[in-house]
A and B are shown apart, each in its own frame.
Chain A
């Protein structure tokens, strides 16, 4: 997994609540058996018409935001399905960080497995960053994972909370499965005891 330490980049504003995983990556793109290449279809039905032409007023089609690496969005981002195709598409497009007042649980977890940092901040602070993002490509935000801060283009600093284990894995690009396998003896012990306590499982 890619490491995430610091990021300074363009932030695209999406001031919409309940951006769901069907919006992020519609189901027709779930037919792939690979993880790669989904960025071309990120937000497909908002971004393109049925002939495949760009819809001009969609934020990521505006010149200022084509190179966006950060999204600033409304409440409950990533609600809906468990499809990891959503973070795969976001990452493949080049976005490494999403800032919103809250995230749906499964999506939130999926981000960390893919080197994406989801940052939850109070609504008032997201409002400030949304305005900052609306300034376009000259306004670059900075994310510092170690310090757990977002700095607006004006230099205003916001601190965010994060689970320490998730932070550690993201900063070092660690593979969850490898880490868990180091704990195989504990799993073995549990499995043996559980098989005796609940043999019907």
Chain B
């Protein structure tokens, strides 16, 4: 047999039909659904008189547009449009008989945190969701990517996706990370190196010692932002850490089925002599704690650097960099660590898991946030929130001056009332720094949870290593 990449193996195990031109129907093992990109898909099913083909493989949870404040079980405490979208998801889940975690359920949270937490996401699976950060699930060695609403409808109706195979890219992070450097810094640094279109047309497999050394949660952070690098999906080969994480989760296999699953899961790695269309290697020890300065996730620099000028770039990026600098209100040459902020947001599918909250709390312990700063923690799920309360992390955040919210996407995309005001500047653990992303004319600097905590204390972008 010819050598295969991990992507090749998962792909081959899921092709239900292949046309002569290579267009395939890829069978989907898990379909995650949320309230913002699904209503039109369910409406389409109803209009065509179609049903959901595999409701037992379909899991719904409201997350994007829910409030993160107390009392949200009562729709009258939601904005009208949130209440309509949540009510639509309630109804669609019930009418079509799919698994559902309503806002009143402690297991509710961001769809990409709930999936792994409940054991829905397992190695070797194909996973889709009407959300680009579906790439997160690739941390388990699952082929996972975001789809549009028409494709959501297609998967609901047929449990397949029309696909042509992507190319294989290997991103290797060698060696060890230095203290204060996290999974977030890895994934941002990779995007800084490849650009936001560098991964277009590829599925990325992350590998190397620094990736193997990451926890499952760190690996999720890395794969989560594969899409910001343009890749359809990010993958990490499953190993003992993966199996340990999955074992005992509510929807993970048990007994003999677990053993059978393990037998297959252990074959899920790229063969030594597999062919790659592109290989990128970064040294773990070269990666620093980073921040973004502009309005594209590729605008990444070490916190010790200065704001660049448009002339530092080439081609179309010159104009884009100038537009970013104007939008962000930054002067070239300013040390990044001199940039003052108004808001800190800790949360999102990138960095809203328990280890992220621990990392931030470690920096904040016994300290206060800068006077006048607004700081918010939005745990990624109700279970993450409960665990953080049990571990005393919630108290550390609250005593430091953070708001302690209920689970949801919140200020990552700012659909709900959690938004930046015009001109406000935020150190955020989320994944996108686009213009207007966190609020009209709001300014976003993407950072790791530790860096966000450090910024909250000093009131400016700060090298977390100075507070460790």
Contacts and interface: CB of A to CB of B under 8 A. Distances in A.
A74 B447 CA distance: 27
Nearest to B23: A165
Given A17-B320, A81-B132, A22 B40 contact: no
A16 B145 CA distance: 27
Contacts of A83: 36-37, 148
Interface string A40-78: 000001000010000000000000000000000011100
A191 B27 CA distance: 8
Given A106-B147, A109-B148, A113-B150, A186 B415 contact: no
A176 B154 contact: yes
A142 interface: no
Nearest to A103: B200
Contacts of A177: 48, 50, 153-154, 157-158
Interface stretch (B78-86, B207-215, B303-311): B78-86
A33 B39 contact: yes
B160 A180 contact: yes
B232 interface: yes
A157 interface: no
- Give the contact-size bracket for chain A: 35 or more
B385 to A, nearest CB: 24
Contacts of A18: 196-197, 296, 320
A87 B260 CA distance: 43
A82 to B, nearest CB: 4
Interface in B438-458: 440
B292 interface: no
Given A27-B413, A104-B230, A187 B130 contact: no
A32 B43 CA distance: 13
A200 B158 CA distance: 20
Contacts of A82: 37, 130-132, 146-148
Nearest to B43: A33
A27 B196 contact: no
Contacts of B27: 187, 190-191, 194
A16 B17 CA distance: 39
A134 interface: no
Contacts of A5: none
B25 A183 contact: yes
Given A23-B435, A75-B316, A200-B253, A105 B162 contact: no
Contacts of B323: 16
A30 B36 contact: yes
Contacts of A123: 315
Interface residues of B, number: 78
Contacts of A147: none
Interface string B402-437: 000000000001110000001000000000101111
A15 B422 CA distance: 26
Interface in B1-54: 13-17, 19, 21, 23, 25, 27, 29, 36-37, 39-40, 43, 48, 50
B365 to A, nearest CB: 34
Contacts of A131: none
Given A17-B320, A165-B23, A201 B125 contact: yes
Contacts of A26: 436, 440
B296 to A, nearest CB: 5
Given A82-B148, A84-B149, A181 B260 contact: no
A190 B422 CA distance: 53
A102 interface: yes
Contact of B88 (A15, A20, A33): A33
Contacts of B82: 31
A54 B324 CA distance: 22
Nearest to B145: A106
Interface of B: 13-17, 19, 21, 23, 25, 27, 29, 36-37, 39-40, 43, 48, 50, 57, 64-65, 81-82, 84-85, 88, 122, 124-125, 130-132, 145-151, 153-154, 157-160, 162, 164, 196-197, 200-201, 227, 230, 232, 252-253, 257-258, 260-261, 264, 296, 315-317, 319-320, 323, 413-415, 422, 432, 434-437, 440
| 5 smallest beta-carbon distances between A and B, as pairs | A200-B253, A113-B150, A190-B16, A33-B39, A31-B81
Interface of A: 15-18, 20, 22-23, 26-28, 30-35, 45, 50, 74-76, 79-84, 87, 102-106, 109-110, 113-114, 123, 163-165, 176-177, 180-181, 183-184, 186-187, 189-191, 194, 198-201
14 contacts: A17-B315, A30-B64, A31-B81, A50-B440, A80-B132, A81-B432, A105-B200, A105-B230, A105-B232, A109-B151, A164-B21, A176-B154, A187-B17, A198-B264
Given A103-B200, A200-B252, 15 more contacts: A20-B435, A22-B436, A31-B36, A50-B422, A50-B440, A76-B200, A79-B196, A113-B151, A165-B23, A176-B162, A177-B158, A180-B162, A190-B16, A191-B27, A200-B260
